[in-house]
Amino acid sequence: MKRLIILALCLACSLMAVAQQENDNPKVKVGVRVGGVGSCFIVPQNEVICLNPQNSKPKRPMKIGLTAGVTVDIPISQKLNLQTGLMYSLQRAGEKDQCIYNIGDTNYSVDSRITYKSHHIKLPLMIMFQGSNKPNHFVAGVGVFADITLGGKLRYDASAVLTPGGKYLIEGDLNPYNKENQYLRYRLNDDDFWYKHTLGYGSLFKRFNFGVSAEIGYQISKVYLGAHIDFGVLNMARQEMCGENYRQRPLDVQVLIGYNIN
Protein backbone atom coordinates (compact mmCIF):
# COMPACT_ATOMS: atom_id res chain seq x y z
CA MET A 1 0.00 0.00 0.00
CA LYS A 2 2.77 2.44 0.93
CA ARG A 3 4.63 1.59 -2.28
CA LEU A 4 1.53 2.39 -4.37
CA ILE A 5 1.05 5.77 -2.66
CA ILE A 6 4.74 6.67 -3.08
CA LEU A 7 4.59 5.62 -6.74
CA ALA A 8 1.50 7.75 -7.32
CA LEU A 9 3.14 10.79 -5.70
CA CYS A 10 6.28 10.32 -7.79
CA LEU A 11 4.14 10.05 -10.92
CA ALA A 12 2.30 13.26 -10.01
CA CYS A 13 5.57 15.15 -9.46
CA SER A 14 6.98 13.88 -12.76
CA LEU A 15 3.89 14.90 -14.71
CA MET A 16 3.86 18.37 -13.14
CA ALA A 17 7.50 18.78 -14.17
CA VAL A 18 6.65 17.78 -17.74
CA ALA A 19 3.76 20.23 -17.73
CA GLN A 20 6.10 23.08 -16.75
CA GLN A 21 8.48 22.18 -19.58
CA GLU A 22 5.76 21.98 -22.25
CA ASN A 23 3.86 25.09 -21.22
CA ASP A 24 5.47 28.12 -19.60
CA ASN A 25 2.14 29.28 -18.18
CA PRO A 26 -0.04 26.20 -17.57
CA LYS A 27 -3.64 27.07 -16.86
CA VAL A 28 -4.85 25.14 -13.84
CA LYS A 29 -8.60 24.53 -13.98
CA VAL A 30 -10.73 24.33 -10.85
CA GLY A 31 -14.20 22.77 -10.94
CA VAL A 32 -16.99 21.58 -8.70
CA ARG A 33 -18.76 18.23 -8.99
CA VAL A 34 -22.01 16.91 -7.52
CA GLY A 35 -23.96 13.76 -8.24
CA GLY A 36 -25.29 10.43 -7.13
CA VAL A 37 -23.24 7.42 -6.13
CA GLY A 38 -24.38 3.80 -6.22
CA SER A 39 -22.50 1.61 -3.74
CA CYS A 40 -22.24 -2.09 -3.06
CA PHE A 41 -19.73 -4.57 -1.68
CA ILE A 42 -18.00 -7.13 -3.89
CA VAL A 43 -17.87 -10.38 -1.92
CA PRO A 44 -16.77 -13.78 -3.27
CA GLN A 45 -19.77 -15.99 -4.01
CA ASN A 46 -21.43 -17.63 -1.00
CA GLU A 47 -19.21 -15.86 1.55
CA VAL A 48 -21.15 -14.65 4.59
CA ILE A 49 -20.24 -13.56 8.10
CA CYS A 50 -20.91 -16.85 9.90
CA LEU A 51 -19.40 -20.19 10.79
CA ASN A 52 -19.73 -23.09 8.34
CA PRO A 53 -22.53 -21.57 6.21
CA GLN A 54 -24.65 -23.87 4.05
CA ASN A 55 -27.28 -23.09 1.42
CA SER A 56 -26.38 -19.40 1.59
CA LYS A 57 -28.20 -17.07 -0.81
CA PRO A 58 -26.74 -13.61 -0.22
CA LYS A 59 -28.02 -10.62 -2.20
CA ARG A 60 -26.14 -7.33 -2.20
CA PRO A 61 -28.15 -4.73 -4.14
CA MET A 62 -26.62 -1.37 -5.04
CA LYS A 63 -28.04 1.58 -3.07
CA ILE A 64 -27.91 5.26 -4.00
CA GLY A 65 -26.05 7.95 -2.06
CA LEU A 66 -24.61 11.40 -2.74
CA THR A 67 -21.22 12.80 -3.68
CA ALA A 68 -19.81 16.33 -4.02
CA GLY A 69 -16.43 17.98 -4.16
CA VAL A 70 -13.79 20.03 -5.92
CA THR A 71 -11.49 19.00 -8.78
CA VAL A 72 -8.20 20.54 -9.91
CA ASP A 73 -6.87 19.87 -13.44
CA ILE A 74 -3.17 20.49 -14.04
CA PRO A 75 -2.18 20.54 -17.76
CA ILE A 76 0.43 18.02 -18.85
CA SER A 77 0.11 18.57 -22.61
CA GLN A 78 -2.48 19.85 -25.05
CA LYS A 79 -4.75 16.86 -24.44
CA LEU A 80 -3.63 15.43 -21.09
CA ASN A 81 -4.39 16.71 -17.59
CA LEU A 82 -3.41 15.50 -14.15
CA GLN A 83 -6.60 15.67 -12.07
CA THR A 84 -6.78 15.67 -8.29
CA GLY A 85 -9.10 17.25 -5.73
CA LEU A 86 -11.21 16.40 -2.71
CA MET A 87 -14.54 14.55 -2.80
CA TYR A 88 -17.08 13.87 -0.04
CA SER A 89 -19.34 10.85 -0.41
CA LEU A 90 -22.39 9.59 1.48
CA GLN A 91 -22.51 5.90 0.65
CA ARG A 92 -25.28 3.39 1.27
CA ALA A 93 -25.18 -0.36 0.76
CA GLY A 94 -27.23 -3.40 1.73
CA GLU A 95 -27.13 -7.16 2.13
CA LYS A 96 -29.89 -9.76 2.42
CA ASP A 97 -29.13 -13.36 3.22
CA GLN A 98 -30.70 -16.72 3.97
CA CYS A 99 -28.35 -19.38 5.26
CA ILE A 100 -27.82 -22.16 7.78
CA TYR A 101 -25.18 -21.86 10.50
CA ASN A 102 -23.80 -25.15 11.83
CA ILE A 103 -22.40 -24.55 15.32
CA GLY A 104 -21.81 -27.72 17.30
CA ASP A 105 -24.97 -29.82 17.33
CA THR A 106 -27.25 -26.85 16.62
CA ASN A 107 -28.44 -25.61 13.24
CA TYR A 108 -29.36 -21.93 12.90
CA SER A 109 -31.63 -21.16 9.97
CA VAL A 110 -31.26 -17.39 9.57
CA ASP A 111 -33.05 -14.83 7.45
CA SER A 112 -31.11 -11.55 7.83
CA ARG A 113 -30.93 -8.03 6.45
CA ILE A 114 -28.05 -5.57 6.83
CA THR A 115 -28.04 -1.92 5.75
CA TYR A 116 -24.95 0.30 5.74
CA LYS A 117 -24.52 4.08 5.71
CA SER A 118 -21.08 5.71 5.77
CA HIS A 119 -19.36 9.06 5.19
CA HIS A 120 -16.15 9.21 3.16
CA ILE A 121 -13.45 11.61 1.99
CA LYS A 122 -11.73 10.59 -1.26
CA LEU A 123 -8.46 11.87 -2.67
CA PRO A 124 -8.29 11.09 -6.42
CA LEU A 125 -5.26 11.17 -8.69
CA MET A 126 -6.13 10.62 -12.36
CA ILE A 127 -4.74 11.09 -15.87
CA MET A 128 -7.49 12.70 -17.97
CA PHE A 129 -7.52 12.72 -21.78
CA GLN A 130 -9.63 15.25 -23.69
CA GLY A 131 -10.60 14.66 -27.31
CA SER A 132 -9.88 18.21 -28.49
CA ASN A 133 -9.19 21.76 -27.31
CA LYS A 134 -12.63 22.98 -28.39
CA PRO A 135 -15.16 24.07 -25.72
CA ASN A 136 -17.20 20.90 -26.36
CA HIS A 137 -15.16 17.70 -26.15
CA PHE A 138 -15.04 14.10 -24.93
CA VAL A 139 -13.10 13.25 -21.74
CA ALA A 140 -11.78 9.93 -20.41
CA GLY A 141 -9.39 9.04 -17.63
CA VAL A 142 -7.87 6.39 -15.35
CA GLY A 143 -6.12 6.65 -12.01
CA VAL A 144 -6.01 5.77 -8.32
CA PHE A 145 -7.66 7.07 -5.17
CA ALA A 146 -7.35 7.01 -1.39
CA ASP A 147 -10.52 6.65 0.71
CA ILE A 148 -10.81 7.71 4.36
CA THR A 149 -14.01 6.79 6.21
CA LEU A 150 -15.21 9.44 8.64
CA GLY A 151 -17.89 7.30 10.27
CA GLY A 152 -20.97 5.24 9.62
CA LYS A 153 -23.88 3.14 10.82
CA LEU A 154 -24.90 -0.47 10.34
CA ARG A 155 -28.44 -1.77 10.95
CA TYR A 156 -28.90 -5.53 11.48
CA ASP A 157 -32.26 -7.34 11.58
CA ALA A 158 -32.67 -11.10 11.58
CA SER A 159 -34.96 -13.96 12.54
CA ALA A 160 -33.35 -17.29 13.42
CA VAL A 161 -34.87 -20.74 13.92
CA LEU A 162 -32.76 -23.11 16.06
CA THR A 163 -32.89 -26.88 15.64
CA PRO A 164 -33.14 -28.05 18.37
CA GLY A 165 -34.42 -24.93 20.10
CA GLY A 166 -36.81 -22.07 19.43
CA LYS A 167 -37.09 -18.91 17.40
CA TYR A 168 -34.94 -15.81 17.94
CA LEU A 169 -35.42 -12.23 16.84
CA ILE A 170 -32.16 -10.29 16.57
CA GLU A 171 -31.58 -6.58 15.92
CA GLY A 172 -29.03 -3.86 16.45
CA ASP A 173 -27.68 -0.48 15.37
CA LEU A 174 -23.89 -0.58 15.23
CA ASN A 175 -21.05 1.79 14.44
CA PRO A 176 -18.93 -0.58 12.33
CA TYR A 177 -15.87 1.66 12.78
CA ASN A 178 -16.10 1.88 16.57
CA LYS A 179 -13.24 0.13 18.37
CA GLU A 180 -15.29 -0.51 21.52
CA ASN A 181 -17.51 -3.51 22.18
CA GLN A 182 -20.34 -4.03 19.69
CA TYR A 183 -23.73 -5.33 20.83
CA LEU A 184 -26.86 -6.86 19.32
CA ARG A 185 -30.22 -7.32 21.06
CA TYR A 186 -32.14 -10.59 20.88
CA ARG A 187 -35.21 -12.22 22.35
CA LEU A 188 -36.46 -15.82 22.37
CA ASN A 189 -39.85 -16.77 20.92
CA ASP A 190 -42.46 -14.19 22.01
CA ASP A 191 -40.74 -12.96 25.18
CA ASP A 192 -41.00 -9.26 25.90
CA PHE A 193 -37.53 -9.05 27.43
CA TRP A 194 -34.57 -8.30 25.16
CA TYR A 195 -31.12 -9.71 25.94
CA LYS A 196 -27.77 -8.20 25.01
CA HIS A 197 -25.28 -10.15 22.92
CA THR A 198 -21.65 -8.99 22.72
CA LEU A 199 -20.07 -9.39 19.30
CA GLY A 200 -16.55 -8.71 20.53
CA TYR A 201 -14.05 -5.93 21.01
CA GLY A 202 -13.03 -3.94 17.95
CA SER A 203 -14.39 -2.42 14.76
CA LEU A 204 -16.07 -4.49 12.06
CA PHE A 205 -14.64 -2.51 9.14
CA LYS A 206 -11.39 -0.70 8.38
CA ARG A 207 -11.40 3.06 7.86
CA PHE A 208 -8.79 3.34 5.07
CA ASN A 209 -8.85 1.98 1.54
CA PHE A 210 -7.29 2.73 -1.80
CA GLY A 211 -8.03 1.49 -5.28
CA VAL A 212 -8.34 2.14 -9.00
CA SER A 213 -10.63 4.56 -10.85
CA ALA A 214 -11.97 5.15 -14.34
CA GLU A 215 -14.10 7.95 -15.79
CA ILE A 216 -15.74 9.03 -19.03
CA GLY A 217 -17.54 12.30 -19.67
CA TYR A 218 -18.36 15.17 -21.96
CA GLN A 219 -17.45 18.81 -21.49
CA ILE A 220 -20.02 21.35 -22.78
CA SER A 221 -18.35 24.74 -22.43
CA LYS A 222 -17.96 25.00 -18.63
CA VAL A 223 -20.54 22.31 -17.82
CA TYR A 224 -19.36 18.73 -17.33
CA LEU A 225 -21.37 15.48 -17.47
CA GLY A 226 -19.64 12.26 -16.51
CA ALA A 227 -19.71 8.72 -15.13
CA HIS A 228 -17.05 7.57 -12.66
CA ILE A 229 -16.22 4.22 -11.04
CA ASP A 230 -14.06 3.44 -7.98
CA PHE A 231 -13.04 -0.07 -6.94
CA GLY A 232 -11.30 -0.58 -3.60
CA VAL A 233 -8.56 -3.20 -3.58
CA LEU A 234 -8.35 -3.72 0.20
CA ASN A 235 -10.59 -6.05 2.19
CA MET A 236 -12.63 -3.70 4.38
CA ALA A 237 -13.82 -6.40 6.80
CA ARG A 238 -11.64 -7.05 9.85
CA GLN A 239 -10.98 -10.77 10.01
CA GLU A 240 -10.96 -10.78 13.83
CA MET A 241 -14.66 -9.80 13.81
CA CYS A 242 -16.02 -11.08 10.48
CA GLY A 243 -14.12 -14.33 10.01
CA GLU A 244 -10.80 -15.27 8.42
CA ASN A 245 -12.34 -16.21 5.06
CA TYR A 246 -14.63 -13.19 4.63
CA ARG A 247 -13.67 -10.63 1.97
CA GLN A 248 -15.52 -7.37 1.34
CA ARG A 249 -14.37 -4.78 -1.21
CA PRO A 250 -16.32 -1.60 -2.07
CA LEU A 251 -17.53 -0.72 -5.57
CA ASP A 252 -18.85 2.82 -6.19
CA VAL A 253 -20.45 4.06 -9.43
CA GLN A 254 -20.97 7.83 -9.70
CA VAL A 255 -23.02 9.94 -12.10
CA LEU A 256 -21.64 13.49 -12.01
CA ILE A 257 -22.54 16.98 -13.14
CA GLY A 258 -19.95 19.70 -12.78
CA TYR A 259 -18.98 23.25 -13.54
CA ASN A 260 -15.54 24.65 -14.27
CA ILE A 261 -15.01 27.80 -12.22
CA ASN A 262 -12.25 29.24 -14.43
Residue 125 to residue 5: CA distance in whole angstroms = 10
- Taking only the tens place, the pLDDT of each residue in 181-217 is 778 888 877 777 888 888 777 788 899 999 999 999 9
Residue 64 pLDDT greater than 90, yes or no: yes
Residues 6+ apart with CB under 8 A from 214: 141, 142, 228, 229
Which residues fall within 8 angstroms of residue 219, CB to CB, at 6 or more apart? 130, 135, 136, 137, 138, 139, 260
Q: How confident is the model at residue 103 (pLDDT cuts 50, 70, 90)?
A: low
**pLDDT above 90 coverage of the chain, percent:** 42
Calpha distance 210→233 (Å, rounded): 6
3 state SS of 8: helix
Q: DSSP 3-state assignment of 20?
A: helix
